[in-house]
Protein backbone atom coordinates (compact mmCIF):
# COMPACT_ATOMS: atom_id res chain seq x y z
CA UNK A 1 0.00 0.00 0.00
CA UNK A 2 1.17 3.41 -0.84
CA UNK A 3 -0.52 6.72 -0.60
CA UNK A 4 1.18 7.76 -3.83
CA UNK A 5 -0.08 5.05 -6.17
CA UNK A 6 -2.11 1.88 -6.71
CA UNK A 7 -0.79 -1.23 -8.41
CA UNK A 8 -4.16 -1.99 -9.97
CA UNK A 9 -7.14 0.15 -10.69
CA UNK A 10 -9.35 -0.22 -7.60
CA UNK A 11 -13.01 -1.04 -8.00
CA UNK A 12 -15.42 1.83 -8.26
CA UNK A 13 -13.33 3.95 -10.64
CA UNK A 14 -14.21 5.12 -14.14
CA UNK A 15 -11.99 6.36 -16.91
CA UNK A 16 -12.66 10.08 -17.22
CA UNK A 17 -10.23 11.36 -19.84
CA UNK A 18 -7.39 10.27 -22.11
CA UNK A 19 -4.72 12.73 -23.22
CA UNK A 20 -2.63 11.10 -25.90
CA UNK A 21 0.43 12.87 -27.32
CA UNK A 22 0.24 10.57 -30.35
CA UNK A 23 -3.26 11.76 -31.13
CA UNK A 24 -3.36 14.33 -33.96
CA UNK A 25 -5.90 16.61 -32.32
CA UNK A 26 -3.98 16.68 -29.05
CA UNK A 27 -0.70 17.32 -30.87
CA UNK A 28 -2.25 20.19 -32.78
CA UNK A 29 -3.79 21.70 -29.66
CA UNK A 30 -0.52 21.44 -27.70
CA UNK A 31 1.52 22.87 -30.58
CA UNK A 32 -0.80 25.84 -30.89
CA UNK A 33 -0.82 26.46 -27.16
CA UNK A 34 2.99 26.14 -27.05
CA UNK A 35 3.48 28.51 -30.01
CA UNK A 36 1.15 31.08 -28.51
CA UNK A 37 2.83 30.89 -25.13
CA UNK A 38 6.37 31.17 -26.51
CA UNK A 39 5.38 33.96 -28.96
CA UNK A 40 3.76 35.92 -26.12
CA UNK A 41 6.83 35.50 -23.92
CA UNK A 42 9.25 36.40 -26.75
CA UNK A 43 7.24 39.61 -27.29
CA UNK A 44 7.24 40.50 -23.60
CA UNK A 45 10.98 39.81 -23.28
CA UNK A 46 11.75 41.72 -26.46
CA UNK A 47 9.88 44.86 -25.47
CA UNK A 48 10.83 44.83 -21.81
CA UNK A 49 14.44 43.72 -22.10
CA UNK A 50 15.94 43.44 -25.57
CA UNK A 51 14.46 46.47 -27.32
CA UNK A 52 15.89 49.10 -24.94
CA UNK A 53 19.34 47.37 -25.11
CA UNK A 54 19.44 46.41 -28.76
CA UNK A 55 22.86 48.06 -29.39
CA UNK A 56 24.55 46.37 -26.44
CA UNK A 57 23.04 43.05 -27.46
CA UNK A 58 24.31 43.38 -31.03
CA UNK A 59 27.73 44.46 -29.81
CA UNK A 60 27.90 41.41 -27.52
CA UNK A 61 27.00 38.89 -30.23
CA UNK A 62 29.01 35.70 -29.94
CA UNK A 63 28.76 32.64 -32.17
CA UNK A 64 30.20 30.53 -29.38
CA UNK A 65 27.38 31.61 -27.06
CA UNK A 66 24.85 30.75 -29.76
CA UNK A 67 26.29 27.23 -29.98
CA UNK A 68 26.15 26.96 -26.17
CA UNK A 69 22.54 28.14 -26.35
CA UNK A 70 21.54 25.39 -28.81
CA UNK A 71 23.38 22.71 -26.80
CA UNK A 72 21.81 24.04 -23.58
CA UNK A 73 18.38 23.69 -25.08
CA UNK A 74 18.93 19.99 -25.88
CA UNK A 75 20.45 19.44 -22.46
CA UNK A 76 17.41 21.16 -20.97
CA UNK A 77 15.02 18.74 -22.74
CA UNK A 78 16.86 15.79 -21.18
CA UNK A 79 16.99 17.41 -17.71
CA UNK A 80 13.30 18.34 -17.93
CA UNK A 81 12.34 14.68 -18.40
CA UNK A 82 14.78 13.57 -15.71
CA UNK A 83 13.08 15.98 -13.29
CA UNK A 84 9.71 14.29 -13.92
CA UNK A 85 11.52 10.97 -13.51
CA UNK A 86 13.15 11.98 -10.24
CA UNK A 87 9.77 12.78 -8.65
CA UNK A 88 8.24 9.56 -9.98
CA UNK A 89 11.22 7.53 -8.81
CA UNK A 90 11.23 9.04 -5.31
CA UNK A 91 7.51 8.47 -4.84
CA UNK A 92 7.08 5.09 -6.55
CA UNK A 93 10.56 3.50 -6.83
CA UNK A 94 9.36 1.87 -10.04
CA UNK A 95 10.84 1.42 -13.47
CA UNK A 96 10.26 4.54 -15.55
CA UNK A 97 9.56 4.88 -19.25
CA UNK A 98 11.55 7.53 -21.10
CA UNK A 99 11.24 8.26 -24.76
CA UNK A 100 10.96 10.68 -27.60
CA UNK A 101 7.91 10.75 -29.80
CA UNK A 102 8.29 13.92 -31.88
CA UNK A 103 7.36 16.59 -31.04
CA UNK A 104 7.39 15.47 -27.41
CA UNK A 105 9.91 13.85 -25.11
CA UNK A 106 8.29 11.97 -22.29
CA UNK A 107 8.72 10.21 -18.98
CA UNK A 108 6.11 8.02 -17.32
CA UNK A 109 5.50 5.15 -14.92
CA UNK A 110 3.47 2.86 -17.17
CA UNK A 111 2.65 0.17 -14.60
CA UNK A 112 0.97 2.21 -11.88
CA UNK A 113 -2.15 4.22 -11.13
CA UNK A 114 -0.89 7.38 -9.49
CA UNK A 115 -2.77 9.42 -6.97
CA UNK A 116 -3.43 13.08 -7.72
CA UNK A 117 -0.62 14.37 -5.49
CA UNK A 118 1.99 12.17 -7.23
CA UNK A 119 0.90 13.29 -10.70
CA UNK A 120 0.68 16.91 -9.62
CA UNK A 121 4.18 16.97 -8.12
CA UNK A 122 5.68 15.28 -11.16
CA UNK A 123 3.81 17.50 -13.65
CA UNK A 124 4.76 20.72 -11.86
CA UNK A 125 8.39 19.86 -11.02
CA UNK A 126 10.22 20.77 -14.26
CA UNK A 127 8.24 23.99 -14.73
CA UNK A 128 9.00 25.12 -11.19
CA UNK A 129 12.65 24.05 -11.09
CA UNK A 130 13.68 25.45 -14.47
CA UNK A 131 11.69 28.68 -14.22
CA UNK A 132 13.59 29.44 -11.01
CA UNK A 133 16.87 28.24 -12.53
CA UNK A 134 16.62 30.42 -15.66
CA UNK A 135 15.41 33.41 -13.63
CA UNK A 136 18.42 33.12 -11.29
CA UNK A 137 20.78 32.65 -14.24
CA UNK A 138 19.32 35.75 -15.87
CA UNK A 139 20.11 37.87 -12.83
CA UNK A 140 23.57 36.35 -12.37
CA UNK A 141 24.76 37.01 -15.92
CA UNK A 142 26.05 40.44 -16.78
CA UNK A 143 26.12 40.89 -20.50
CA UNK A 144 22.85 41.66 -22.29
CA UNK A 145 23.54 39.18 -25.11
CA UNK A 146 23.82 36.24 -22.70
CA UNK A 147 20.80 37.50 -20.78
CA UNK A 148 18.79 37.54 -24.03
CA UNK A 149 19.75 33.93 -24.72
CA UNK A 150 18.63 32.94 -21.23
CA UNK A 151 15.30 34.69 -21.83
CA UNK A 152 14.95 32.76 -25.09
CA UNK A 153 15.59 29.53 -23.17
CA UNK A 154 13.01 30.58 -20.60
CA UNK A 155 10.42 31.13 -23.36
CA UNK A 156 11.24 27.77 -24.98
CA UNK A 157 11.06 26.12 -21.57
CA UNK A 158 7.61 27.59 -20.87
CA UNK A 159 6.41 26.40 -24.28
CA UNK A 160 7.90 22.96 -23.61
CA UNK A 161 5.87 22.79 -20.40
CA UNK A 162 2.52 23.32 -22.14
CA UNK A 163 1.53 19.66 -21.81
CA UNK A 164 2.63 19.55 -18.17
CA UNK A 165 0.76 22.75 -17.34
CA UNK A 166 -2.34 21.39 -19.04
CA UNK A 167 -2.06 18.21 -16.94
CA UNK A 168 -1.42 20.18 -13.75
CA UNK A 169 -4.39 22.43 -14.57
CA UNK A 170 -6.66 19.40 -14.99
CA UNK A 171 -5.52 18.05 -11.63
CA UNK A 172 -5.81 21.42 -9.89
CA UNK A 173 -9.18 22.48 -11.22
CA UNK A 174 -11.01 19.49 -12.66
CA UNK A 175 -9.95 16.29 -10.92
CA UNK A 176 -9.77 17.82 -7.46
CA UNK A 177 -10.63 14.67 -5.51
CA UNK A 178 -7.40 13.44 -3.84
CA UNK A 179 -8.59 9.91 -4.65
CA UNK A 180 -8.44 10.62 -8.40
CA UNK A 181 -5.94 8.43 -10.22
CA UNK A 182 -3.84 9.00 -13.28
CA UNK A 183 -1.92 6.50 -15.32
CA UNK A 184 1.05 8.01 -17.12
CA UNK A 185 2.55 5.80 -19.81
CA UNK A 186 4.69 8.72 -21.00
CA UNK A 187 3.00 9.86 -24.21
CA UNK A 188 -0.44 9.02 -22.81
CA UNK A 189 -2.16 10.09 -19.60
CA UNK A 190 -5.40 8.46 -18.53
CA UNK A 191 -7.46 10.07 -15.78
CA UNK A 192 -9.73 8.03 -13.51
CA UNK A 193 -12.30 9.34 -11.08
CA UNK A 194 -13.97 7.59 -8.21
CA UNK A 195 -17.62 6.84 -8.86
CA UNK A 196 -20.17 8.35 -6.53
CA UNK A 197 -21.32 5.71 -4.03
CA UNK A 198 -24.70 4.26 -4.87
CA UNK A 199 -25.63 1.59 -2.34
CA UNK A 200 -28.32 0.14 -4.63
CA UNK A 201 -25.83 -0.76 -7.31
CA UNK A 202 -23.10 -3.30 -7.32
CA UNK A 203 -20.56 -1.91 -9.65
CA UNK A 204 -17.62 -3.49 -11.27
CA UNK A 205 -15.70 -0.90 -13.11
CA UNK A 206 -13.18 -1.57 -15.74
CA UNK A 207 -10.58 1.03 -16.30
CA UNK A 208 -10.24 0.59 -20.03
CA UNK A 209 -6.79 0.16 -21.48
ZN1 LIG B 1 7.33 17.73 -18.99
Compute, in angstroms, the gap from residue 27 CA to the centroid of ligand 1: 14
Identify whether 205 is part of a domain. Answer: no
Share of the chain above pLDDT 70, in %: 94
| Total number of domains constituting the chain | 1
Alpha carbons 126 and 164: distance in angstroms, whole number: 9
Compute, in angstroms, the gap from residue 21 CA to the centroid of ligand 1: 12
Identify whether 204 is part of a domain. Answer: no
Compute, in angstroms, the gap from residue 203 CA to the centroid of ligand 1: 35
Identify whether 200 is part of a domain. Answer: no
Q: What is the pLDDT of residues 18-68, one digit of tens each?
A: 999 888 898 889 889 999 999 999 999 999 999 999 999 999 999 999 999
Compute, in angstroms, the gap from residue 201 CA to the centroid of ligand 1: 40
Q: What is the pLDDT of residues 20-34, one digit of tens each?
A: 988 889 888 988 999
Identify whether 207 is part of a domain. Answer: no
**What pLDDT score was predicted for residue 209?**
44
Q: Which domain holds residue 57?
A: 5-194
Q: What is the pLDDT of residues 87-134, one digit of tens each?
A: 999 999 999 999 987 777 899 999 999 999 999 999 999 999 999 999
**Are residues 165 and 122 in contact, defined by beta-carbon separation less than 8 angstroms?**
no
Q: Is the pLDDT of residue 208 over 50?
A: no
Identify whether 91 is part of a domain. Answer: yes
Identify whether 206 is part of a domain. Answer: no
* β 104-115/181-184 pair status: antiparallel
Identify whether 110 is part of a domain. Answer: yes
Identify whether 203 is part of a domain. Answer: no
Instruction: Say whether 88 sits in a helix, a strand or coil.
Output: helix
Amino acid sequence: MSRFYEEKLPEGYSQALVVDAADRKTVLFMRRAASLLSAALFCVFFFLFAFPRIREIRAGFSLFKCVVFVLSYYLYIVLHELTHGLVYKLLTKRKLAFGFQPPVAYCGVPDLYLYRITSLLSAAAPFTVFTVFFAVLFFLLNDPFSKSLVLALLALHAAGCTGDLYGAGLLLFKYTDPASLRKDTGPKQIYYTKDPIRPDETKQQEGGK
